[in-house]
Amino acid sequence: MIDLYKLLIVGLGGFIGAIGRYAVSGWIQSLSKSPWYPFGTLGVNFIGCLLIGFLGGLVKNKELFQSGTRLFLLVGLLGAFTTFSTFGYETFSLLRGGQFLLAGGNVAAQVILGLIGVWLGFTLSNLV
């Protein structure tokens, strides 16, 4: 059964995270003055990874946040700010657990399948 309270917490965090991504990415891109390289996306991904590593560490090592706060911050806010942060945290968790092959497989699968998905979607758009 779907827990409406959890959906609302994640949705509120996602709303704030998406606005934050738009604002921070645009700000970083404007600072870079680069029309060629997506510094805004790179910056948002780094900031998101830094934040999810820090907050995830507080959750794991200090048991600092209750489940609702974790959902709001980690799944909602940072999930919408950048899914790359989730990818980074999950891969880091695999590495910490000594699952090096799975971590490498996750990196390869995420990057390769992501690029294939973009290519496939772009190719399919030409058929419309």
Q: Does residue 80 sit in the same domain as residue 102?
A: no
Q: Does residue 32 sit in the same domain as residue 80?
A: yes
Taking only the tens place, the pLDDT of each residue in 23-46 is: 999 999 999 998 888 899 999 999
In a domain, 120, yes or no: yes
**pTM of this prediction?**
0.80
Q: Does residue 15 sit in the same domain as residue 77?
A: yes
In a domain, 92, yes or no: no
Q: Which domain holds residue 26?
A: 4-85
> Rounded to whole angstroms, how far apart are CA atoms 85 and 65?
18
Give the SS3 label for residue 97: coil
Q: How many CB atoms are closer than 10 A to CB 70?
A: 17
Query: Measured between alpha carbons, how far is residue 114 from residues 38, 45, 111 in Å?
Result: 17, 15, 5
Give the SS3 label for residue 113: helix
- Identify whether the C-beta of residue 9 lies closer than 8 Å to the C-beta of residue 76: yes
Query: Measured between alpha carbons, how far is residue 30 from residues 21, 39, 47, 60, 112 in Å?
Result: 14, 9, 17, 36, 29
In a domain, 91, yes or no: no
Query: Measured between alpha carbons, how far is residue 51 from residues 2, 12, 84, 126 in Å?
Result: 28, 18, 12, 38
Taking only the tens place, the pLDDT of each residue in 77-103 is: 999 998 888 889 899 999 999 999 999
Tell me the CB-side half-sphere exposure of residue 47, using CA atoms within 13 A.
18
Q: How many domains does one find in the chain?
A: 2
Q: Does residue 116 sit in the same domain as residue 73?
A: no
